[in-house]
Amino acid sequence: MNKRQTRRTLYPRHESRRSGRLRVSDIHEIYWEESGNPDGVPVVALHGGPGGGSNPEMRRFFDPTRYRIFLFDQRGCGRSTPHSELRENTTWDLVDDMETLREHVGVDQWVVFGGSWGSTLSLAYAVTHTERVLGVVLRGVFLVSKAEISWFYQSGASRLFPDSYDRYVAPIPEDERGDLLNAFHKRLIGSDKNARIEAARAWARWEGETLSIKGPVTTPPRFNEDDFVDAFARIECHYFVNRGFFAHDSWLLEECERKLKDVPGMIVHGRYDVVTPLSTAWTLSKAWPKAQLHIIPDAGHSSMEPGIVDHLIQATDDLAEMFGPAKKG
């Protein structure tokens, strides 16, 4: 049988059962939703970016008969308000928001699921509130280190995507290209609206064009939408200039090694992931012995690569077996 035919696919589309808005600060209000089985294993799925917002396809990584599925839009993006707001918007604010949401919906413990920046936030939450975590599923691991940011946002990834890289750096004058992160940051937080949106488009499309192993032809449509790219680029750049708001470059990795010894984890990573190279997931797996690392030989960064989908579904099915009642039927 052909390998592709044996791969698991996303669960069928299903609607949320309830949704709401939650005031988390004087400034911010976040959108959240719940779907699946109200008696199922609780799971919170964290979107990427930061600034990417959740989408209905994220529900489909979980068996809706066995999981109680929570999604939310992180501060400043998606349906959360105010849009593109950087004040009171840090990793630790988002970790607090997860706890506020968990208490609001009456969940004692949950599985934490996240890809790309969602993996960063998953780990930050897990090392802070370890007692609330049943297990962790990660895709495209990213620890917001200086090396990772330099690789993707400075020049490393340009060797594989030179065409996309030229479009990425186009808004930045040549004499500022020695520090692209800060050059973009200056424009994304500046008062010149035209420069801001031009920079946001370039920043977001760079990531959109490099997500998949197939390259720019598979860029998701929202990476060409001005409303999306403004929040996405501004919030990402804000977090990366501040190095994820972590104490030092290896803080998160060290905390994982110290805090997650007894937490089951499953890591899925494409071998040809250009956005978040495999070396980070490899290093994390060595520091976290209870985490199983699955390297997908024909995948990049996108959660929708067939091999990535296959192994993420296997991971969530395995945790449903571990923490939930036996499947009926």
Active-site positions read 116, 273, 301
DSSP string, 268-289: EEETT-SSS-HHHHHHHHHH-T
| Total number of residues shown for the chain | 329
Rounded Cα distance between 304 and 211, Å, is: 10
Pairing of the two strands 133-139 and 67-72? unpaired
CA distance readout (Å), 50 to 5, 73, 114, 170? 34, 10, 11, 23
268 touches 236 (CB < 8 A):
no
Tokens of 68: 């109680």
Contacts 24+ apart (CB under 8 A), 92-98: 92/124, 92/245, 93/24, 93/25, 93/28, 94/50, 94/121, 94/124, 95/121, 95/124, 95/125, 95/128, 95/129, 96/24, 97/22, 97/24, 97/30, 97/72, 98/44, 98/125, 98/129
Query: Whose CA is closest to 23, among 86, 88, 91?
Result: 88
Rounded Cα distance between 71 and 61, Å, is: 12
Tokens of 33: 């939703």
- Dihedral pair phi/psi, residue 290, rounded to 5°: -80, 0
